[in-house]
Amino acid sequence: MVFSGTNSIGFMGCGNMAQAIIKGLIENKVIPAQKIYVSNRSPGKPIKLRDQYGINIANSNEELVEQAQVVVLAMKPQDLLAAIDPLGGIFSEKQIVISLAAGITLNTLKKHLPLLRWIRMMPNTPTLIGKGLVGYFTDQADSYLDTLVEDLFKPLGQTTKLKDEDQFESFMVACSSGVGFVYEMMIYWQDWMIEYGFDEDVAQNLTLETFLGASQLARASGNLTLEELQNRVASKKGVTEAGLQSMRDSEIERSLRVAFEKAGLRNQEMAKLLK
CB 96 within 8 A of CB 124: no
Q: Residue from 2, 83, 194, 259 that binds ligand NAP (CB under 6 A)?
A: 83
Q: Residue from 16, 235, 240, 255 that binds ligand NAP (CB under 6 A)?
A: 16
Residue nearest to ligand NAP (CB): 15
Q: Residue from 30, 70, 71, 101 that binds ligand NAP (CB under 6 A)?
A: 101
Q: How far is CA 193 from the centre of its chain?
A: 31
* Residue 18 or 71 having the CB closest to ligand NAP: 18
* Residue 60 or 255 having the CB closest to ligand NAP: 60
CB 36 within 8 A of CB 15: no
Q: Residue from 3, 21, 36, 40 that binds ligand NAP (CB under 6 A)?
A: 40
Supply the DSSP symbol for 139: S
CB of 127 to ligand NAP, least distance (A): 8
Maximum distance among all Cα pairs of the chain, rounded to whole angstroms: 69
Q: Residue from 3, 8, 9, 13 that binds ligand NAP (CB under 6 A)?
A: 13
CB of 234 to ligand NAP, least distance (A): 35
Please state, in angstroms and rounded to a whole number, the distance separating the CA atoms of residues 108 and 103.
10
Q: Residue from 4, 6, 42, 223 that binds ligand NAP (CB under 6 A)?
A: 42
In the three-class reduction of DSSP (H, G, I as helix; E, B as strand; rest coil), residue 37 is classed as strand
CB 26 within 8 A of CB 11: no
Q: In what order do the strands lie in the sheet with 56-57?
A: 56-57, 36-39, 9-12, 70-73, 96-99, 117-123, 132-137, 157-161
Residue type, 171: F
* Residue 232 or 275 having the CB closest to ligand NAP: 275
Instruction: List the beta bridge partners of residue 165.
Output: none
- Taking CB under 6 A as the rule, does residue 77 contact ligand NAP? yes
The footprint of ligand NAP on this chain (CB under 6 A) covers a number of residues equal to 26
Please state, in angstroms and rounded to a whole number, the distance separating the CA atoms of residues 120 and 90.
21
* Residue 40 or 190 having the CB closest to ligand NAP: 40
Please state, in angstroms and rounded to a whole number, the distance separating the CA atoms of residues 187 and 193.
10
Q: Pick out residues in 47-76 that bind ligand NAP (CB under 6 A).
A: 61, 74-76
Q: Residue from 122, 148, 149, 271 that binds ligand NAP (CB under 6 A)?
A: 122
**Nearest alpha-carbon partner for 53 in 27, 15, 28, 71:** 27
- Taking CB under 6 A as the rule, does residue 14 contact ligand NAP? yes
Interface residues with ligand NAP (CB under 6 A) are 12-18, 39-42, 45, 61, 74-77, 79, 83, 100-102, 122-123, 125, 176
